[in-house]
Amino acid sequence: MIKMAVLYHSKSGNTCRMAQAIADGMKMVEGVEARIFPIHEPDAAYLAESCCVVMGTPTYLASMSGEMKTWLDGDARRLGLAGKLGGAFATADYVHGGADLAIQGILSHLMVLGMLLYSGGGACGKPVIHLGPVALKDHLEEAEPVFRLYGQRMANQAVKIFG
């Protein structure tokens, strides 16, 4: 069984909801177990056994949340994420609120931590998810299928690499 994890920071519950959608998509791939954790309550033993870790944040001021940035700069560095497949996602209030920038910020941190990044990009066809999926607060239900598909794509890639 391949283990995968989705870590998130969420104040309103929107980012948590999208984390669950990604994990649900991961579980659609045979042989994959997926769990979600808030960034301040990760299961270190489960993460150590996970081959893929996806991280999500709400978007604040066109960036990741301060809590996510602080966590990535500190606690994340002690989780042994190097060599694992990584990805990112964000929630936002507005279409042009900077969610892509929030995702890029997380992806930059994941590279520094030594993770292998993947999103599927245009290679997986439509819907194209170049950096990672974004959900708008007033359209969460519409976004859930894309988030599940993203989780499925991440799981398929993890199975190819680590399976």
Per-chain mean pLDDT for the chain: 97
Whether residue 86 contacts residue 122, with contact meaning beta carbons closer than 8 Å, is answered with no
Q: What is the mean pLDDT of residues 72-99?
A: 96
pLDDT at 139: 96
Q: What is the mean pLDDT of residues 35-51?
A: 97
Q: What is the pTM of this model?
A: 0.97
pLDDT at 16: 98
Ordered by where they begin, the domains of the chain are 2-162 (3.40.50.360)
